[in-house]
Amino acid sequence: MSKRLRYQVAASLDGFIAGPDGSYDWIVMDPAIDFGALYGEFDTAVMGRKTYEAGLAMGGSIAMPGIEIVVFSRTLPASAKKGLRIVNDDPAKVVAELKKQKGRDIWLFGGGELFRSLLDAGLVDMVEIAVMPVLLGDGIPLLPAGDSVKLTLTDLKRLPASGIVVLAYTVEHSKARPPRVRYVKSARRKSRAP
């Protein structure tokens, strides 16, 4: 079985994955999201140079525990160190090779342009969006203009405390098993006495 490529991203209600300056400080945090469980679903993350540089600018590091990061860039020099590779190769060829390897899924971390190119290449299996209860009005879109693609909803979770809705879709061409949202902790219901 090949690894799945999953575009797992937070987006504003009006469809942006970052502010106009690449900022993501508008993302709502919710204690029901188990980031350890989320990270545990992946062994590789791929991202474009802009996403990588925005992450560096916001926090100085882009490390993800237990995940090998591959950054695609036409301008940064190719390099490799523990947990991070910067490559100048064609993203579609690199991702196609990554999908053939054994291991956990591949997290398409961002951005929208990389998502569009890998979607057009038929490599994206799932689209998983944590819709934030925020309207940005402007910013970097979830997906740049291009051909339409049909999706099938396979799971959703509502996080009432924050207003986040997590949606999981399978891309129409994918033969991979459908995604389930397993990294959201379920709220325990109190039983009522009769």
Domains of the chain (ranges; CATH) run 5-126+136-154+164-171 (3.40.430.10)
**For 104-139, what is each residue's pLDDT tens digit?**
999 999 888 999 999 999 999 999 999 999 999 999
Q: Report helix, strand or coil for 142.
A: coil
Q: One-letter amino acid identity for 105?
A: D
Let me know: does 121 contact 59? Beta carbons within 8 Å: no
* Segment 30-66, tens digit of pLDDT: 999 998 899 999 999 999 998 888 778 776 667 787 8
Q: Within a 10 A sphere around the Cβ of 147, how many other Cβ atoms?
A: 7
pTM of the model: 0.89
